Amino acid sequence: MNQEYYLQQLEEELVVALGCTEPVSVAFAAALARKEAGYDEPIESIELQASVSIYKNAMSVFIPGTSDMGAAMAAALGAIGGDPSLNLQVLQNIREEDIVKARNLCAERKVVLDLAPQGTPSLYVNVIVHTQNHTGRATVAWKHDLIMELERDGVMTFLNDTSQVQELTDSITVDDLRDIWDFATTVDIEKLDLIRQAIELNERIAIEGMLNSYGLEVGRSIAKSCHGAKGSSFIEKCTSCNLETDFFPEESCCKVIPKVEGCSLSDYCAAWTAAATDARMVGVSLPVMSNSGSGNQGLTATVPVLSAARYLGSTEEELLRAQTLSHLIAVHVKKSFGRLSPLCGATAAAVGASAGIVLLQGGGIEHVIAAVQNMFGTVTGMICDGAKPGCSLKVSACIYSAVQAVAVAMQGKQIAPTDGVIESDVEETIKNMERISKEGMDNMDELLLNIMLNKKSENT
């Protein structure tokens, strides 16, 4: 077990992002292309080529800081107001006037969309920005923020070494859950600052989602179902001013202290995680720590483990180790799905969360393996039909399954290898997920995008 290897994996796969990472990847590429074209002249037109999965995940999710959706708007906004130096936080500093200009570009049909050419990676974005006298081009591929090519007026200004670039499945050597367990339970916690940052960022947006009405209000709905119509029991009284409110006090002296009494572990974990997703999917301008290129995966690997630690009264060290286990197993599982996949990424992240909750409950590696097997036997076929506010329901369903899978595993029980996709070796089960994603769902993304683009309106 190589500690430096796993620390490197955390550095590569845990990335801070603002907004859904597919439209943000488009905005990032557009901002790079605009920089190549120069800022002296106004934009005349934008050309976007992107993979099917990019369009699918950009179609129904709100771009951060706006009430707009879609890859065209993401490209326009990135080109007009994006800051490419901020990577996946490229839209952090957009202004209202940038939003208006981007809407006008789209309304005037000056943003032209096309599918990526055959043979390009499953994650591919190519943007060309035209001004009166210049053009800029940028290609991002393989990862949401991995720059492959930059071009100004037809002259290449940057070319990445494609021989070193691979799909997520190939870029990480074969792991084993036991090695990940050994690392998470022995690593010096002083080396886990990235995990601390993930907790801080992802908790902040969970609080925001519980505090305000966003999207379907899945998190708040679960909270209310636990604690009555007001849902007030998710908050303790402020220790400074003794104020108690329905959700969160706004006074600066008050500290948010989530309350656990009267709530099951599964409800508590699902409510907070769904609340974070509620806020993120409607474009709240708060960054999150993503996992394997997805903010929702980052939330699903982080927030339920944090919630379980609070619920169980775990120590800081127990929390940090459980979070590390959750994130690394999420990465390990996600590489079988592929970075962008027809399978819902929240399922992979929730597999990681189940392992983290096992650790918090005092379980061992055998319980982790059992929980992982139980998860694969439960949420195997959940598909990704694009990023959208309804993702909060999928996330909460995955968390409920994770807590249930842990409860069964902690009793020494797991789904038998005679059942479905489950193998006697958990690593073989994970390989089966790769087959399901890549062989069984080869054309699923195209089918889903076609359905999304050709839905009958309510008036027909």
CA-to-CA dists, residue 345 to 164, 183, 293, 336, angstroms = 25, 24, 10, 11
Query: Which tokens go with 100?
Result: 């208006």
- In terms of Cβ atoms closer than 10 Å to its own Cβ (0-12, 13-18, 19+), residue 103 is middle
What confidence score (pLDDT) does residue 253 get? 42
Tell which residue, 169, 173, 119, 166, has the closest CA to residue 437: 169
**How many Cβ atoms sit within 10 Å of the Cβ of residue 20?**
28
457 φ, ψ to 5°?
-70, 160
What confidence score (pLDDT) does residue 212 get? 84
Tell which residue, 210, 213, 209, has the closest CA to residue 231: 210
- Say how far apart CA 262 and CA 283 lie, in whole Å: 32
**280 touches 288 (CB < 8 A):** yes
What confidence score (pLDDT) does residue 450 get? 86
For tokens 């007009």, the residue is: 80
**173 touches 210 (CB < 8 A):** no
Residues of the chain with CATH 3.30.1330: 19-164
- In terms of Cβ atoms closer than 10 Å to its own Cβ (0-12, 13-18, 19+), residue 92 is middle
What confidence score (pLDDT) does residue 427 get? 86
- Say how far apart CA 197 and CA 15 lie, in whole Å: 10
What confidence score (pLDDT) does residue 165 get? 58
Task: Average pLDDT across each block of 10 residues of the chain; the chain has 460 residues. List them in order.
Answer: 87 92 96 97 97 91 93 97 96 96 97 93 94 97 93 96 57 70 96 96 91 90 71 47 40 48 87 95 93 93 96 95 97 80 86 97 96 91 86 96 97 93 87 80 81 64
Class of domain 169-451: mainly alpha
- Say how far apart CA 212 and CA 30 lie, in whole Å: 32
HEC sequence for the chain: CCHHHHHHHHHHHEEEECCCHHHHHHHHHHHHHHHHHCCCCCCCEEEEEECHHHHHHHCCCECCCCCCECHHHHHHHHHHHCCHHHHHHCCCCCCHHHHHHHHHHHHCCCEEEEECCCCCCCCEEEEEEECCCCEEEEEEECCCCCEEEEEECCEEEEECCHHHCCCHHHHCCCCCHHHHHHHHHHCCHHHCHHHHHHHHHHHHHHHHHHHCCCCCCHHHHHHHHHHCCCCHHHECCCCCCCCCCCCCCCCCCCCCCECCCCCCHHHHHHHHHHHHHHHHHCCCCCCEEEECCEHHHHHHHHHHHHHHHHHHCCCHHHHHHHHHHHHHHHHHHHHHHCCCCCECHHHHHHHHHHHHHHHHCCCCHHHHHHHHHHHHCCCCCCECCCCCCCHHHHHHHHHHHHHHHHHHHCCCCCCCCCCCCCCCCHHHHHHHHHHHHHHHCCCHHHHHHHHHHCCCCCCC
Tell which residue, 334, 316, 210, 338, has the closest CA to residue 271: 210
Global pTM?
Answer: 0.88
**337 touches 437 (CB < 8 A):** yes
Tell which residue, 159, 161, 169, 138, has the closest CA to residue 25: 138
Give the CA angle between residues 460, 281, 459 to the nearest 5°.
5
- Say how far apart CA 398 and CA 441 lie, in whole Å: 20
- Say how far apart CA 159 and CA 161 lie, in whole Å: 7
- Say how far apart CA 412 and CA 304 lie, in whole Å: 22
What confidence score (pLDDT) does residue 170 get? 46
Residues of the chain with CATH 1.10.4100: 169-451
Query: Which tokens go with 418?
Result: 């005679």
Query: Pairing mode, if any, of strands 288-291 and 155-159?
Result: unpaired
What confidence score (pLDDT) does residue 171 get? 42
What confidence score (pLDDT) does residue 228 get? 56
**Does the domain spanning 19-164 belong to CATH 1.10.3470?**
no
